[in-house]
């Protein structure tokens, strides 16, 4: 067995490595490379789209700023420069215009032909000279009647000539110092997911960038460049927006997936070496355990469940063994019950021939004595005892005969709810002596079915009488009738002491009783009648706290 198991392990291990691991490795590598290429394409496409949107956003911003300066320079209020802005109307206009744009402009200045500031959004600048000195990043572009000066420490001068009163006369210049951080902010908004951005002029010279902009080689980055396309009738300045993302950062999810693939592959290889033996053992060991169980069960007759586990076929075999054991146990119980019923039959036959005749003679003699006029009170009492005891003995003989010779049911349509109501009515006087409440609950559905009305009534009376005999005074008994889709449920519940769980299967055995003076045949008869109707009866605990007997009968009872 062990040699065979090791052989199976080796075969399974080699087969797994050749058939499973090689395709898994190829597919994993193919999936990794495809995912890497797809992710890189998507990242490049996203960078390109964001670069184009950023370039358009910068063009729109510059168009709006140039429009501001051009339109302001043509306003009539600009002519206040000719009188030196003595009433400060122009200065107030420039200050209000700057404030209305909320930090877009650092300063607005109206300058005369001699570069002297006549009016400014900053009061301290009035009368000063306008000095502009650019750095090497200067832009110096012209758009229409507006000029863009050179970049001065995050300030971009925008200027437009103010028309004079006389055509050709120099009316001065309007300067708007644009906060270059506005462009910086647009670039920062475009830098998401670890990307960096830069603004380049048409010659590729850097104009602005995010703080972490570090141009890398093509092998180290994924990049995209979008050129300015202008905005409306503004053609733009030919600027370019560049977005870059480190290849290591961008492809880290794919590399992580690759590491996971490698780890899983290594784990799979390790498991392949360990799984072959358990797999063979999972097939051979359950069979060995099942063989041992079958041998020991025959010799020891122990009621233990068969071993579980193993492949589906082995589990089905174990289930079949378990069902066989259950059937054997049922057969054993049926044989035991049949043996007890055989004893009952023999006793019934003997009592029917040997006991009923003398009992009849005793009963008749006692009745004749009661007719004697000179019989004393003590004699009359003794005769009454003789008559009641002979009647009790006759009932015992009748019960024994019922157990021994169960009559097949005579089926006819009958309403079980009506039978239950009649049974309760018959026993209400007896229940009233102990102040026991008898109640009937019915779900309202038609409870008519094919059954033997007399036998079903006998079932109801036996169950109710059992309850009345056991329950103390002031108790309660509920009879409920419910109809389901294909069966009828008849329940008798009480609030008495109940039945112990370990006794619930034994209460239907012949001669088993928990009541003083009982012979233990009433519930046996009940079970015989229910089984003859193709039904089932169980004992349980009721919601009232006492015993519950549930009878289930098929509605389609075509015997």
What pLDDT score was predicted for residue 20?
57
| pLDDT at residue 332 greater than cutoff 60 | yes
Read off φ and ψ for residue 552, nearest 5 degrees. -115, 120
What pLDDT score was predicted for residue 38?
79
What pLDDT score was predicted for residue 303?
58
Band (5; pLDDT cuts 50, 70, 90): very low
| pLDDT at residue 519 greater than cutoff 70 | no
SS (H, E, C) 49-83: HHHHHHHHHHHHHHHHHHHHHHHHHCCHHHHHHHH
| Higher-scoring residue by pLDDT: 80, 371 | 80
CA distances from 68 to 54, 168, 543 (A): 21, 23, 87
Domains in the chain: boundaries: 47-184, 312-402, 408-554
Beta strand 476-483 with 437-442 is: parallel
Domain 312-402 adopts which CATH fold?
Answer: Helix Hairpins (1.10.287)
- The chain-wide mean pLDDT, for the chain, equals 77
What pTM did the predictor assign? Answer: 0.45
What pLDDT score was predicted for residue 356?
64
What pLDDT score was predicted for residue 480?
92
Q: Could you report the per-residue pLDDT of 440-474, keeping only the tens digit for each?
A: 988 888 888 889 888 888 888 888 888 888 888 99
| pLDDT at residue 499 greater than cutoff 60 | yes
Helix (H) or strand (E) segment spanning residue 442: strand 437-442
Q: What is the maximum span of the chain, computed from C-alpha positions, in angstroms?
A: 165
Percentage of residues in the chain having pLDDT higher than 70: 69
Nearest to 56 by CA among 231, 242, 181, 189: 231
Helix (H) or strand (E) segment spanning residue 155: strand 155-163
Beta strand 487-494 with 476-483 is: antiparallel
Mean pLDDT score, 142-156: 72
Band (6; pLDDT cuts 50, 70, 90): very low
| pLDDT at residue 1 greater than cutoff 60 | no
| pLDDT at residue 502 greater than cutoff 50 | yes
Mean pLDDT score, 525-535: 86
What DSSP state is assigned to residue 430?
H
Q: Could you report the per-residue pLDDT of 230-265, keeping only the tens digit for each?
A: 777 778 778 888 888 877 776 777 677 777 777 877
What pLDDT score was predicted for residue 479?
92
Task: Find how far residue 67's CA is from the centre of its chain.
Answer: 60
What pLDDT score was predicted for residue 515?
62
Band (481; pLDDT cuts 50, 70, 90): very high
Band (208; pLDDT cuts 50, 70, 90): confident
Helix (H) or strand (E) segment spanning residue 263: helix 252-300
- Lowest-pLDDT range, 3-7, 14-18, 340-344, 529-533? 3-7
What pLDDT score was predicted for residue 551?
92
Is 165 strand, coil or helix?
Answer: coil
- Lowest-pLDDT range, 46-60, 83-97, 393-407, 411-425? 393-407
Mean pLDDT score, 334-363: 60
Q: Per CATH, the architecture of 47-184 is what?
A: 2-Layer Sandwich (3.30)
What DSSP state is assigned to residue 502?
G
What pLDDT score was predicted for residue 134?
47
| Higher-scoring residue by pLDDT: 213, 92 | 92
Beta strand 146-148 with 487-494 is: unpaired
Nearest to 440 by CA among 426, 456, 462, 420: 420
Mean pLDDT score, 416-438: 89
Count other C-beta atoms under 10 Å from residue 421's C-beta. 16
What pLDDT score was predicted for residue 435?
92
CA distances from 164 to 80, 113, 157, 171, 296 (A): 11, 11, 22, 4, 121
CB 499, CB 511: distance < 8 Å: no
Q: Could you report the per-residue pLDDT of 394-403, keeping only the tens digit for each?
A: 766 666 666 5
Helix ranges, 181-251 (H): 181-190, 247-250
Beta strand 536-541 with 141-143 is: unpaired
Q: Per CATH, the architecture of 408-554 is what?
A: 2-Layer Sandwich (3.30)
> Would you put residue 84 in left (φ > 0), alpha (ψ -120 to 50) or beta?
left
- Lowest-pLDDT range, 26-40, 240-254, 431-445? 26-40
Q: From CA 559, how far away is CA 553, in angstroms rounded?
A: 12
Q: Could you report the per-residue pLDDT of 292-330, keeping only the tens digit for each?
A: 666 666 555 555 666 666 666 666 766 676 666 666 666
Give Cβ neighbours of residue 197 (< 8 Å, ≥ 6 apart).
Answer: 51, 54, 187, 188, 190, 191, 209, 210, 213, 241, 242, 243, 244
């Amino acid at each position: 067995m062990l040699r065979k198991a090791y052989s199976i392990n080796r075969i399974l291990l080699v087969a797994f490595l050749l058939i499973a691991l090689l395709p898994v490795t190829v597919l994993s590598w193919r999936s990794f490379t495809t995912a890497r290429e797809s992710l890189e394409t998507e990242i490049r496409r996203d960078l390109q789209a964001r670069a184009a949107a950023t370039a358009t956003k910068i063009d729109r911003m510059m168009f709006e700023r140039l429009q501001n300066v051009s339109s302001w320079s043509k306003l009539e209020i600009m002519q206040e420069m000719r009188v030196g802005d003595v009433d400060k109307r122009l200065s107030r206009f420039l200050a209000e215009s700057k404030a209305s744009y909320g930090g877009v402009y650092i300063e607005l200045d109206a300058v005369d032909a001699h570069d002297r500031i006549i009016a400014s959004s900053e009061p301290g600048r009035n009368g000063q000279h306008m000095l502009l000195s650019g750095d090497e990043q200067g832009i110096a572009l012209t758009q229409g009647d507006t000029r863009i000066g050179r970049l001065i420490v995050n300030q971009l001068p925008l200027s437009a000539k103010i028309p004079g009163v006389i055509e050709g006369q120099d009316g001065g210049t309007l300067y708007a110092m644009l906060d270059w951080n506005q462009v910086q902010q647009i670039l920062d908004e475009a830098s998401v997911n670890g990307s960096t951005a830069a603004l380049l002029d048409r010659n590729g010279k850097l104009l602005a960038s995010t703080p972490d902009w570090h141009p890398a080689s093509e092998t180290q980055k994924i990049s995209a460049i979008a050129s300015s396309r202008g905005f409306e009738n503004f053609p733009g300045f030919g600027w370019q927006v560049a977005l870059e993302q480190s290849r290591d950062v961008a492809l880290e999810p794919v590399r992580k997936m690759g590491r996971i693939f490698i780890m899983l592959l290594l784990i799979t290889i390790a498991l392949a070496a360990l799984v072959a033996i358990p797999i063979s053992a999972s097939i051979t060991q359950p069979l060995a355990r099942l063989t041992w169980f079958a041998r020991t069960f025959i010799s020891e007759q122990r009621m233990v469940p068969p071993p579980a586990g193993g492949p589906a076929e082995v589990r089905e075999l174990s289930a079949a063994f378990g069902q066989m054991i259950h059937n054997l146990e049922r057969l054993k119980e049926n044989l035991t019950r049949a043996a007890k019923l055989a004893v009952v039959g023999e006793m019934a036959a003997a009592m029917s021939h040997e006991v009923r005749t003398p009992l009849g003679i005793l009963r008749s003699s006692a009745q004749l004595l009661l007719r004697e006029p000179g019989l004393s009170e003590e004699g009359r009492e003794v005769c009454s005892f003789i008559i009641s005891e002979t009647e009790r003995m006759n009932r015992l003989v009748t019960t024994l005969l019922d157990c021994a010779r169960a009559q097949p049911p005579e089926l006819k349509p009958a309403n079980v709810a009506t039978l239950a109501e009649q049974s309760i009515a018959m026993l209400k006087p007896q229940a009233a002596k102990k102040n026991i409440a008898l109640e009937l609950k019915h779900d309202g559905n038609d409870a008519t079915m094919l059954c033997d009305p007399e036998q079903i009534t006998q079932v109801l009376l036996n169950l109710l009488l059992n309850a009345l005999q056991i329950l103390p005074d002031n108790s309660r008994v509920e009879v409920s009738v419910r109809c389901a889709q294909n069966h009828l449920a008849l329940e008798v519940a009480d609030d008495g002491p109940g039945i112990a769980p370990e006794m619930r299967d034994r209460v239907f055995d012949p001669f088993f009783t928990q009541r003083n003076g009982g012979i233990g045949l009433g519930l046996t008869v009940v079970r015989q009648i229910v089984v003859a109707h193709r039904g089932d009866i169980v004992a349980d605990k009721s919601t009232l706290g006492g015993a519950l007997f549930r009878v289930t009968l098929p509605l389609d009872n075509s015997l």
